[in-house]
Chains A and B, each alone.
Chain A
Amino acid sequence: MSVLVFVENHAGQFKKAAYEAASYAVQLAAQMQTTAAAVVLGTVAEDTVRSLGKYGIQKVVCVQDALLDGFEAHAAAKAVAEVAKGIGAGVVVLSNTYTGKALAPRLAVKLQAALAAGAVELPELNGQDLMVKRTVFSNKGFADLALKTAVKVISITPNSYKLVENEVAIEVENRNGVVSAADFKAKVVEVKKVTGKIPLTEAELVVSAGRGLKGPENWHMVENLANALGAATACSKPVSDMHWRPHDEHVGQTGITIKPNLYIAIGISGAIQHLAGVSGSKVIVAINTDKDAPFFKIADYGIVGDAFEVLPKLNEAITKFKAAN
């Protein structure tokens, strides 16, 4: 029973989350004393496909049907399930991105497989079962989930698993004619990519602000700091509810859950719902005028001070640091 990883591409490119899934699959295969293969859908240049060898993928099946260039869950699930059955995969791994979230449930039903969505660590083997650690209660807790079926599907939370380099020779098999137009149940009319901005779900560094900024007209200070750092911008729920910032910047229990390497919270008190969405961050810096703000309880570094005083100074210090490094 080998391990198959679905490596998602965006316009022919693999993002970090895709390599994380590949690396995770290779480590899991090693634990299970088997091999890991990858499946890639649509048009991807061969050099890009071969880059998976750097993380230990020995075989890639490229389903090259041009119809698969735009992601559609129904057709993608058919193609991945066919490859999985063909190689006798015991575990299918994918990223818990929006693409993975659409694909994994369908795939699990097709393969009659148990699904662990949002794994944060490598599983433990327990007889025929896999024990997978995932977050529950919107990051307020963890659960060890036993996957009890013969075939299993695991989607992994981006930025929770460290890439392991392990260069191997890679074999590429190209296939065609796996899907037909009838498999595509939804038609993509338009794709609006966010440009000139780091997508929050992919960001390793995030600068976030709350009501302490007093109004949308002051957000240039947050954006300047984010630009200096190369970070994405985020905000608290009240800020998006008041339409100071777009909804897609709202992090928290009912917004986006993120786990960047660095989260800088400016003028956010730290309500339990907000903390749930960001507590997975590796390092948290809180800046708040109130020394009793709940954010300081989960922060690694804190400055008690006014955002309007601290932000320009911090921006200056970061700019100086970036120039020197």
Chain B
Amino acid sequence: MKILVCISNVPDTTTKITFSPDNKSFNATGVQYIINPYDELALTKALELNEVAGGGTVTVVHVGLADAEPNLRKALAVGADDAVRIDAAPTDGFQVASEIATYAKDKQFDLILCGRESIDYNGGVVPGMLAEMLDLPEVNVITSITINGGLSQVERDIDGGREALEVSLPFVASCQKEITEPRIPNMRGIMMARSKPLQVLPAQGGALHTEVSEYALPAAKAGCRFLEVSEVEKLVELLHSEAKVI
């Protein structure tokens, strides 16, 4: 199968988030960037699907600047065949989906896998927008996927349970945790990644739909009120009369 995997470059999960003094931008100083964890699952699943199918290619695509290239090389080391970077600072889900749609529309991918959301802007909007732009079906938050010929069986999380679906290729899916475990690159993969193609394409551009005007950190907590182990009844009383949550 010919599979496309969409990759975001995001701050490491341990990052302490800070903003610029005017709160207009994210302070990236000293921040380690990683492949978005859900996208890493999508990549691993794409490789597994082709291993089951006995062949195929996996292309990773990223909308972003050159500083993401080490992570695209990592995706190649994990096992992707080639990488594409569309050269634009990603600022809006619509913009990212539009750029990927322009790239993908005449490439006849059998399957496009994404993570269910990026852990930086958390919109989770790119997979659905991309599917709509390419006029493809989309299944979001999938926890399993198998493919038999042109038909795929997937399971997705729904509110209060899980749903099994059948969908014909080609389609877009966004991956939820549980779909697989991320694959760690081995030494051979890292060596091979150096000679795999990493293509840089110009962005199409276009008007942005959204713009962040200001960031803020969550309000600091007032402080923790400590109680003794013997005071659990008092805790219950406080939750009822002071916090009013029970």
| Chain B residues in 8 Å Cβ range of A113 | 209
* Interface members, chain A 145-192 (any B CB < 8 Å): 145-149, 185-192
| Chain B residues in 8 Å Cβ range of A138 | 119-120, 122
Q: How far apart are the CA atoms of A199 and B224 in the complex, in Å?
A: 28
A301 interface neighbour in B15, B156, B207, B235, Cβ under 8 Å: B235
B226 interface neighbour in A201, A229, A297, A304, Cβ under 8 Å: A304
Q: How far apart are the CA atoms of A71 and B126 in the complex, in Å?
A: 20
A282-316 Cβ-contact flags toward B at 8 Å (1 or 0): 11011000000000111111111110011001101
| Chain B residues in 8 Å Cβ range of A73 | 128, 138, 140
User: Chain B interface secondary structure, helix, strand, loop or mixed?
Assistant: mixed
Q: Are A186's CB and B209's CB within 8 A?
A: no
Q: How far apart are the CA atoms of A248 and B76 in the complex, in Å?
A: 30
A269 to chain B, nearest CB (A): 14
Q: How far apart are the CA atoms of A156 and B161 in the complex, in Å?
A: 20
* Interface members, chain B 139-192 (any A CB < 8 Å): 139-141, 143, 153, 156-168, 171, 177-178
Q: Are A117's CB and B123's CB within 8 A?
A: yes
A104 within 8 A of B: yes
| Chain B residues in 8 Å Cβ range of A299 | 221, 224
| Chain A residues in 8 Å Cβ range of B107 | none
B132 interface neighbour in A109, A282, A316, Cβ under 8 Å: A109
A192 interface neighbour in B129, B163, B168, B232, Cβ under 8 Å: B163
B103-142 Cβ-contact flags toward A at 8 Å (1 or 0): 0000000000000000111111111110111001111110
- Counting chain B CB atoms within 10 Å of each CB, the highest count among A108, A143, A149, A318 belongs to A143
B52 within 8 A of A: no
Q: How far apart are the CA atoms of A299 and B13 in the complex, in Å?
A: 21
Q: Given that A192-B164, A248-B157, A272-B14 are contacting pairs, would A140 and B233 also be in contact in the complex, using a CB cutoff of 8 Å?
A: no
Q: Are B208's CB and A148's CB within 8 A?
A: yes
B177 interface neighbour in A117, A136, A146, A250, Cβ under 8 Å: A250
Q: Are B121's CB and A136's CB within 8 A?
A: yes
Q: How far apart are the CA atoms of A104 and B123 in the complex, in Å?
A: 10
Interface Cβ pair total, 8 Å cutoff: 276
Q: Are B128's CB and A102's CB within 8 A?
A: yes
Residue of A nearest to B240 (CB): A321
A131 within 8 A of B: yes
| Chain B residues in 8 Å Cβ range of A254 | 13, 37-38, 119, 177
Q: How far apart are the CA atoms of A186 and B137 in the complex, in Å?
A: 7
B162 interface neighbour in A71, A136, A192, A305, Cβ under 8 Å: A192
Interface band, chain B: 35 or more
A198-226 Cβ-contact flags toward B at 8 Å (1 or 0): 01011011000000000000000000000
Q: Are A99's CB and B159's CB within 8 A?
A: yes
B65-106 Cβ-contact flags toward A at 8 Å (1 or 0): 000000000000000000000000000011001000000000
| Chain B residues in 8 Å Cβ range of A85 | none
B236 within 8 A of A: yes
Q: How far apart are the CA atoms of A142 and B119 in the complex, in Å?
A: 13
A14 to chain B, nearest CB (A): 12
Q: Are B133's CB and A109's CB within 8 A?
A: yes
A255 within 8 A of B: yes
B22 within 8 A of A: no
| Chain B residues in 8 Å Cβ range of A233 | none
Q: Are A143's CB and B215's CB within 8 A?
A: yes
Q: Given that A98-B140, A115-B93, A303-B227 are contacting pairs, would A185 and B171 also be in contact in the complex, using a CB cutoff of 8 Å?
A: yes
Q: Given that A187-B166, A302-B227 are contacting pairs, would A205 and B178 also be in contact in the complex, using a CB cutoff of 8 Å?
A: no
Q: Given that A285-B235, A303-B235 are contacting pairs, would A149 and B122 also be in contact in the complex, using a CB cutoff of 8 Å?
A: no
Q: Are B165's CB and A187's CB within 8 A?
A: yes
A74 within 8 A of B: yes
Q: How far apart are the CA atoms of A320 and B13 in the complex, in Å?
A: 41
B196-235 Cβ-contact flags toward A at 8 Å (1 or 0): 0000000000011111111111100110111111011101
User: With contacts A98-B140, A117-B124, A300-B225 known, what are 16 further pairs, Cβ within 8 A?
Assistant: A77-B132, A98-B158, A105-B97, A106-B129, A106-B132, A117-B122, A135-B122, A144-B216, A185-B171, A186-B165, A186-B171, A199-B160, A272-B13, A285-B239, A304-B226, A313-B229
CB<8 Å pairs between A and B, sample of 22: A10-B160, A73-B138, A102-B128, A105-B131, A131-B213, A138-B120, A139-B218, A141-B17, A143-B214, A145-B212, A185-B171, A186-B137, A186-B167, A199-B161, A201-B160, A202-B159, A254-B37, A303-B227, A310-B229, A310-B232, A313-B232, A320-B233
The 9 closest A-B pairs by CB, nearest first: A105-B128, A185-B137, A114-B209, A109-B132, A305-B229, A140-B17, A199-B160, A193-B161, A262-B245
